Homo-oligomer: A and B are copies of this chain.
Amino acid sequence: MKTRSLLRKLRNVTVLTREEAGALEDSIMRIERFHAGFDIISEGSKPNAVHLMVSGWAARRKMLENGANQFTAFLIPGDFCDIHVTVLARMDHNITAITNCEIAMIDGERLDELASRSSNLARALWWTTLVDEAVLREWVVNNGQRRAYAAVAHLLCEMHVRLCLVGEADGSSEPFTFPVTQEHIANATGLTPVHVNRTLQQLRGDGLIRLHSRQLGILDLERLRAVAGFEIEYLHLMPRGAGDEGIER
Is there an interface contact between B92 and A145, defined as CB atoms closer than 8 Å? no
- With A87-B123, A87-B130 in contact, do A136 and B140 touch (Cβ < 8 Å)? yes
Chain A, 58-72, contact with B by CB distance < 8 Å: what is the 0/1 string? Answer: 001010110010101
C-alpha spacing A234/B70, complex, angstroms = 15
Partner of A84, one of B87, B130, B138, B139: B130
A89 CB-CB contact with B under 8 Å: yes
B-contacting residues of A (Cβ < 8 Å)?
60, 62, 64-65, 68, 70, 72, 84, 87-90, 92-93, 116, 123, 126-127, 130, 133-134, 136-141, 143-146, 189-190, 229, 233-234, 236, 238-239
New contact pairs (17) apart from A64-B146, A64-B229, A143-B143, CB-CB < 8 Å? A60-B137, A62-B138, A62-B140, A62-B141, A64-B141, A64-B145, A68-B145, A70-B145, A72-B140, A87-B123, A87-B130, A88-B130, A89-B239, A116-B116, A140-B140, A140-B143, A144-B189
